[in-house]
Amino acid sequence: MSERKEKFTPGPWSVRDKICIFRFLSVTSDKSPFVIAKIMQPDMQRILEDATKEKANWQQLSANAALIAAAPEMYELLDRIKGRLEFCKLENSIDAETEHEIDRLLRKARGEA
């Protein structure tokens, strides 16, 4: 069995809505006891003064948390796509610039770039 290139916590990750003193979102994995990310509103007092702004900010924070939680699956899919494209390379199915961008994003996700 070969060692994984990725050092991040394997997916799937999920978003949990928490309320402590302040409401925040945490991104977690069943495969790790640690919180992967905590997404909090930056200035709760200012936001609480305007309920409309608070709702819009919470929607954006929720969207950010969902994007973070989807990261391992997006990484795995991009890695599989890269492998399939390399297999089909004889057919010129991908241009060099796109291949370079895929490699760059995979390295970035692994903390190598």
* pLDDT, position 95: 77
User: Does residue 94 fall inside a structural domain?
Assistant: yes
* pLDDT, position 50: 63
Count of structural domains, the chain:
1
User: Does residue 8 fall inside a structural domain?
Assistant: no
* pLDDT, position 51: 58
- The structure tokens listed for 30 are 């069943």
Mean pLDDT by groups of 10 residues along the chain of 113 residues = 71 80 79 83 58 69 88 90 75 75 88 77
| Cβ neighbours of 54 (radius 10 Å) | 16
What range does the domain containing 103 cover? 13-109
* pLDDT, position 64: 86
User: What is residue 4's three-state secondary structure?
Assistant: coil
* pLDDT, position 12: 85
DSSP symbol at 3: P
